[in-house]
């Protein structure tokens, strides 16, 4: 029974930030039921957990399991943060900052290119059955990282920081064609502005930036989709790898 509680806490924390299942429109009751179902399926396969003798010790173990679940969920959701950053960067270069809508993932304001990339990533996520593979990777995490286990280490910190910093790099690379086209348009209109001082550079260049940005966005969408697919396919391996890093006992306990 104790193992079930620990598994339920880790699964609930994972689903709280899991891609698509953590959106505001997804019922909380269904998320809790899914966490309970996962715990009932996984807990019988695990050895009996050592229950702390004190209430403070029990709360510490529950907090540790919740932290592990949140970390694994954060790693699995990084790709969608990447898509949102790349889309917002594209919108800023194309001048589409005013054409914003609500992002289903974060319930916050998001520009049109970011929404397109989000829906594209969601379609790949579901059609590639990655939600199933990620749940299987979560089950495997209990083999690698048993209940009440987990330690902080320098390797874990370096890996998480590296993944987060790579988010900005890859997002900039995805938006690089639109950034380049926007720069060329601004350069051309800057020269025209010097030649024809009466021309309103900002107003005249805006329509060209939007048109050229949309054309480049459409032409590079196939390459962007390949990048998204390759990053999504690595998510189950990334979750298992982070579980391995948590199992390394080279630092103080969590």
- Tell me the per-residue pLDDT of 94-106, one tens digit each, with 9 for 90 and over: 877 666 666 666 6
Looking at residue 250, its pLDDT comes to 45
Q: How many distinct helices (H) and strands (E) make up the chain?
A: 10, 2
Structure tokens at 40: 């009932």
Cα dihedral 231/133/85/230 (nearest 10): 10
Query: Which tens digit of pLDDT belongs to each residue from 31-49?
Result: 899 999 988 888 888 877 7
Q: Which pLDDT score is estimated for 203?
A: 74
DSSP string, 83-135: HHHHHHHHHHHHT-TTSEEE-TTTSSEEEHHHHHHHHHHHHHHHHTTHHHHHH
SS3 label, residue 151: strand
Rg (CA), the chain: 23
The domain segmentation of the chain, as residue ranges, is 77-247
- 87, 113 in Cβ contact below 8 A? yes
pLDDT in tens, 209-231: 888 988 999 999 888 888 889 88
Of 78, 3, 96, 95, residue with least CA distance to 44: 3
pTM of the model: 0.83
């Amino acid at each position: 029974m104790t193992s079930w509680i620990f598994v339920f806490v880790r699964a609930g924390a994972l689903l709280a930030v899991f891609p698509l299942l953590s959106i505001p429109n997804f019922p909380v009751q269904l998320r809790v039921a899914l966490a309970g179902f996962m715990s009932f399926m996984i807990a019988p396969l695990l050895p009996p957990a050592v229950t702390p003798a004190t209430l403070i010790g029990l709360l510490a173990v529950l907090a540790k399991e919740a932290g592990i679940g949140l970390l694994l969920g954060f790693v699995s959701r990084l790709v969608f943060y990447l898509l949102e950053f790349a889309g917002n960067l594209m919108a800023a270069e194309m001048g589409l900052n005013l054409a914003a809508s609500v992002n289903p993932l974060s319930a916050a304001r998001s520009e049109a290119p970011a929404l397109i990339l989000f829906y594209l990533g969601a379609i790949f996520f579901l059609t590639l059955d990655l939600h199933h593979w990620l749940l299987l990777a979560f089950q495997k995490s209990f083999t690698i990282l048993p209940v009440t286990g987990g330690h902080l280490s320098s390797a874990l910190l370096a890996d998480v920081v590296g993944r987060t910093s790579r988010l900005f790099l890859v997002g900039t690379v995805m938006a690089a064609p639109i950034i380049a086209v926007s720069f060329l348009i601004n350069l051309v209109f800057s020269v025209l502005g010097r030649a024809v001082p009466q021309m309103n550079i900002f107003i005249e260049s805006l329509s060209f930036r939007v048109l050229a940005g949309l054309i480049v966005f459409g032409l590079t969408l196939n390459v962007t989709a390949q990048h998204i697919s390759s990053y999504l396919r690595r998510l189950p391996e990334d979750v298992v790898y982070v579980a391995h890093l948590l199992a390394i006992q080279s630092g103080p306990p969590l």
